[in-house]
Chains A and B, each alone.
Chain A
Amino acid sequence: MTERHESVLLHFFVRTFLAPFIMLFALYVLVHGEASPGGGFQGGAIFAAGVIISRLSLGLNQGSYSFLSRKTLLILACLGLGTFTFMGIAGVLFGGSFLNYGVVPLSWLDYIWPGDLGQRQMGIFIIEGGIALGVFATIILLFDFLTFETKGEDVP
């Protein structure tokens, strides 16, 4: 067993200056994906990179990963995939075809989040969020499991 020396300065720098801007850029890529290159996959991957870089700065010390546990990540991945699938099924329920977002009445969301988005654009926005959530949670889940050091206890 080698002793790991955690760099407090490195972790402070990454957590304070690097990770927040990576996550902010990820949100920009996700939200602005309708007008510029970007979207769910890219936004989720960049957001996961922001979380992974702060985990790497901890020196693979799994005891410090209290921010997102494995169970939470699995629930988030299921939630993202479920959002996409239920938006597809909602198209059938409101009289359209599968994955037809134009018939789902979502224009009341404009009162919550003002903008000039129609129903179809709002549906695309929601499924992009679902994709981002699923990709984000899956990437961090892969990272957590592939860097896990078994010490004989059950996971998760």
Chain B
Amino acid sequence: MNKLALPIVIIFAIIFIFSTSTLPNRADVNSPSNLHVSPTYIEHTEKDIGIENIVSAVLADYRGYDTLGETFVIFTAGVAVLAVMTRRRTS
């Protein structure tokens, strides 16, 4: 099984490295996300939300569900540690 692991990892590494060559470059102005996603948020944040920080606007308002889920994840992690580490008298 261990002899099989290294070729599998190498094959997947080759696939991933090859697939990254087809991605758009960093800060490419002609990449799809820079053509319509970013300009939409930059134009609409000021009159939709009314705050200067676009990141905060996306985080708290446009993607509110996501942030709510993240907060639930952190809270669940805390409760899970509490449930595991709490010791009760069993006898």
Instruction: Give A contacts to B, CB under 8 Å.
Output: 33-41, 70, 74, 77-78, 80-81, 84-85, 88, 98-99, 101, 118, 120-121, 124, 127-128, 130-131, 134-135, 137-138, 141-142, 145-146, 148, 150, 154-156
Contact = CB atoms under 8 A, between A and B. Distances in A.
A121 B51 contact: yes
A39 B64 CA distance: 13
Given A135-B71, A135-B74, A138-B75, A88 B64 contact: yes
B58 to A, nearest CB: 11
Contacts of A77: 75, 78
Contacts of A138: 74-75, 77-78
Interface string B69-88: 01110110110011001111
A34 B56 contact: yes
B71 A128 contact: no
B72 A81 contact: yes
A150 B89 CA distance: 12
Contacts of B68: 84-85, 88, 99
Given A99-B64, A99-B65, A131-B71, A148 B85 contact: yes
Nearest to A36: B53
Interface of B: 49-53, 55-57, 59-61, 64-65, 67-68, 70-72, 74-75, 77-78, 81-82, 85-89
17 contacts: A34-B51, A35-B53, A38-B56, A39-B55, A40-B60, A81-B71, A84-B71, A118-B50, A120-B61, A124-B56, A124-B60, A124-B61, A130-B71, A131-B67, A135-B71, A138-B74, A142-B81
B contacts with A: majority SS: helix
Which of A41, A70, A101, A124: most chain B CB closer than 10 A?
A124
A63 B29 CA distance: 58
Contacts of A99: 61, 64-65, 68
B81 A145 contact: yes
Given A141-B81, A155-B85, 15 more contacts: A34-B52, A35-B53, A38-B56, A39-B55, A40-B60, A80-B71, A84-B68, A84-B71, A85-B68, A88-B68, A130-B71, A137-B78, A150-B87, A154-B88, A155-B86
Given A34-B51, A34-B52, A134 B74 contact: yes
Contacts of B65: 98-99
